[in-house]
Amino acid sequence: MAELVGVTLVIVSIFYLTVQVRQNTRATRIQTVHELSAQYIKAQSSLAQNGELTALFLRGQFDYKALDSIEQGRFGMLVASLIRLFSELHFQHMQGELDHAEWIGFKGVVDDVFSYPGFQAVWKLRQHQYSETFQQYINDRLQATAFRKADIYPDPRA
């Protein structure tokens, strides 16, 4: 009888631990999405609040080569930080930590920004800084969206 009670307690403990692990995993996934979203929002807010940076971003998106060397450096660092964020989002998605519905939203952002020639120019210069898996993903997306018109930002040259 004591053995039966002992086994029952072990089974109940294992069940309880399983529930706790599942809840912790869900909380971790939610926290991951929250942190990555916060990083993206912060990047967008920085652009929106700094007119000079916004102007540089828009000019660079449309014509990277027209920027002077200092501007190319600044634009390159800005774009590289966004690409690093996208790389992390992609990694979290591949690891199953980023919900598919959330990933689809971020994938749309990736497609939008990579449709601009300036973003593509920086990618060509810096893609070696990212994992092979992410490089393949971005290069595949570039092929899939090659004929997509870059139209979410106004052209400052117009």
Assign 156 a pLDDT band (cuts: 50, 70, 90). confident
> Which pLDDT belongs to residue 61?
93
5 domain residue, yes or no: no
At what angle are helices 100-114 and 132-144 packed, to 10 degrees?
Answer: 70
Q: Model pTM greater than 0.85?
A: no
Domain tally, the chain = 1
> Which pLDDT belongs to residue 35?
78
22 domain residue, yes or no: no
Any idea which of 29-33, 39-43, 90-94, 96-100 has the lowest mean pLDDT?
Answer: 29-33
1 domain residue, yes or no: no
- For the stretch 104-119, pLDDT in tens is 988 988 999 899 999 9
9 domain residue, yes or no: no
Sequence-distant (6+) residues with CB within 8 A of 134 are: 86, 87, 90, 91
For residue 104 the two structure tokens come to: 């689809």
Assign 22 a pLDDT band (cuts: 50, 70, 90). low
User: Cα separations (Å) of 143 from 111, 136, 146?
Assistant: 11, 11, 5
